[in-house]
Amino acid sequence: MEMEFRTETNPAAPPALAPAAPPFKGAAQIPLLQPLLSRAAFERLSEMKGITAVQVGIGLKDRQGLSRAIPYDVLGMLLVADWARRQAAPGGNVDILVADKHAKEAGCPANEVDRQAGELRRTLQTASEVLDIPSRVVLASEMAASESYARHLSRVSEEFRDREDGISAYTIRELADMSYLADDAGARIKVGWAATDSPERARAGHFDEPYYDALFQQHLNGSLAFLYIQPGLRLDHRALRAAPYLEREPEARIVLAPGEDVQRKFTLAEERGEGEAAKAYRKLLNAIARTARYVTGLDLKGTIEERTQQLVNLIVG
């Protein structure tokens, strides 16, 4: 039986094939965007058809291991994805893929992956409700059970079978995810993140999303447009930039967790000499708040710490 996306949060039935997407409006009002990297997407979208959703991939691990918290920064990805959806697929969804199968195949303990994936799924569903984003949150392990997905995985594996530079199994599965969501779910816009807005530098890295996206465009000829947001930040100058959805040291990040105290995190960071990191993080949080207001109309009041705390509380209580 073919797998269908679970629509536990804000279900919205995608329309039939949509007309060509109009040029995006309001990009200047989205401070989270990486404009140079996203430029090609804006140019392609006016010619693309069949867009019924926007895809976002959320990882659970990095090179050091499994994530231990859900950073607040991930909301930036959801908000930009919803901005894109409202213009290109207003009757559609934001399809959020949680990469649990990838983490298990990379050697992370299955019980820990299941726990983290379940918590992440619940949090993203609640965040979607709070932000009024029609979303479908799906685990990669569920998607992989589909016969159609197996065909996409086989096609990608065959394409890279004879490459001498060693494409990893993780990369193969990442590309199969993108292909499946684009072709079977109509999610022909992908929102990711990049540590730099320089196209050359971004695609040279073998861990940023532009690397995977470039492989997809070069070898799979897929109809996908790629939008990028800025990286997440940390209250630690030694490792300031990070994926918006991963964190192994929760004390260095504002996280979506019960009891999170935003002001205390900033106070402790400044006491240990992280004033510049705190300044940069406040700027990112302000960009998330501005994007939320522009996209959803959510108008929180107070300092940036207070506005961030209000949204954390709305999502995790």
Looking at residue 164, its pLDDT comes to: 54
Average pLDDT estimate for 80-103:
95
The domain limits of the chain are 27-316
Q: What is the mean pLDDT of residues 70-93?
A: 96
Tell me which of 64 and 60 has the higher pLDDT. Answer: 60
At residue 34, does pLDDT exceed 70?
yes
- Find the mean pLDDT for residues 39-44: 84
pLDDT tens digits along 172-217: 999 999 999 999 999 999 999 998 888 777 666 655 788 889 889 8
pLDDT at 154 over 80: yes
The CATH number of 27-316 is 3.40.50.620
SS (H, E, C) 79-97: HHHHHHHHHHCCCCEEEEE
pLDDT at residue 17 tops 60: no
**Higher per-residue pLDDT: 26 or 313:** 313
- Enumerate residues 6+ apart whose C-beta is below 8 A from 211: 202, 203, 204, 205
Q: What is the pLDDT of residue 42?
A: 84
Q: Does residue 19 register a pLDDT over 50?
A: no
Tell me which of 29 and 308 has the higher pLDDT.
308
Supply φ then ψ for residue 196, to 5 degrees: -140, 155
